[in-house]
């Protein structure tokens, strides 16, 4: 199927070479650099390219002798982004909470931890696991999602507390909720479900 889709594309084709592309821009770029015989030469070695960007990249990575050194260790590299990655992965410090065993490398998350857990914010704990949060809504969502509510009178289980309440009302408290009509011995849970009396 993919081959058929590739064949169905209206390709832009080069008149001189066996080059084709689905984007006209790329064909025009190809013609500009290859058909005009523009060749860019490196003045420091025998590298050549039809694209100036390729020559610039070559000079930057091969001939520029700029070396980046880490201030904290003996690491060195030719690319600035490599040094940045090294520093982040190796030298960024851990932030340890002095009130609990929490630790993390991200200072912003660490500040949120201190703000919500240790700074007089309401902290709510799940009674069934170690989950903590600072809002009743968040705790209720957690309980509804992760913990089952069990019926004490039968084997019914649900994740939603409201479903358990409905279950108890309509299944186990049925006698209390039934409406009796002595005219025809009709029982119902709902007032609007009265029998049609002729």
As a whole number, mean pLDDT of residues 13-20 equals 78
pLDDT digits (tens, 9 = 90+) for 37-65: 778 888 888 888 877 888 888 888 787 77
Domain boundaries 95-146, CATH class: alpha beta
Q: Is the pLDDT of residue 187 over 50?
A: no
Domain boundaries 2-63, CATH class: alpha beta
CB 48 within 8 A of CB 39: yes
Q: For residue 142, count other CB atoms closer than 10 A to its CB.
A: 17
How many whole angstroms separate alpha carbon 49 and alpha carbon 56? 10
Residue 83, CB-side half-sphere exposure with 13 Å CA sphere: 15
Q: Where in the chain is the domain with CATH 3.30.160?
A: 2-63, 95-146
Q: Is the pLDDT of residue 75 over 80?
A: yes
Q: For residue 113, count other CB atoms closer than 10 A to its CB.
A: 19
pLDDT for residue 192 = 47
Decide: pTM greater than 0.85.
no
As a whole number, mean pLDDT of residues 152-168 equals 81
Q: Is the pLDDT of residue 182 over 80?
A: no
Smallest Cα–Cα separation from 148: which of 135, 137, 164?
164
Q: Is the pLDDT of residue 3 over 80?
A: no
pLDDT for residue 152 = 85
Q: Is the pLDDT of residue 1 over 50?
A: no
pLDDT digits (tens, 9 = 90+) for 125-151: 888 887 877 778 888 888 777 887 888
């Amino acid at each position: 199927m993919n081959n058929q889709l590739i064949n169905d594309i209206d390709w832009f084709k080069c008149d001189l070479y066996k080059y084709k592309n689905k984007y006209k821009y790329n064909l025009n770029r190809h013609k500009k650099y290859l058909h005009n015989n523009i060749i860019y030469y490196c003045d420091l070695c025998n590298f050549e390219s039809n694209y100036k960007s390729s020559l610039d990249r070559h000079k930057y990575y091969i001939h520029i002798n700029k070396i980046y050194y880490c201030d904290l260790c003996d690491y060195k590299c030719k690319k600035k982004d490599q040094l940045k990655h090294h520093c982040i992965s190796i030298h960024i410090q851990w932030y340890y909470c002095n009130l609990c065993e929490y630790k993390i490398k991200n200072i912003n998350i660490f500040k949120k931890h201190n703000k919500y857990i240790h700074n007089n914010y309401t902290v709510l704990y799940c009674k069934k696991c170690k989950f903590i949060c600072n809002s009743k809504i968040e705790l209720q969502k957690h309980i509804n999602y992760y913990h089952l509510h069990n019926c004490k009178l039968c084997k019914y289980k649900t994740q939603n507390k409201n479903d358990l309440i409905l279950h108890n009302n309509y299944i186990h408290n049925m006698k209390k909720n039934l409406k009796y009509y002595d005219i025809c011995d009709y029982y119902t849970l709902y007032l609007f479900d009265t029998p049609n009396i002729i």
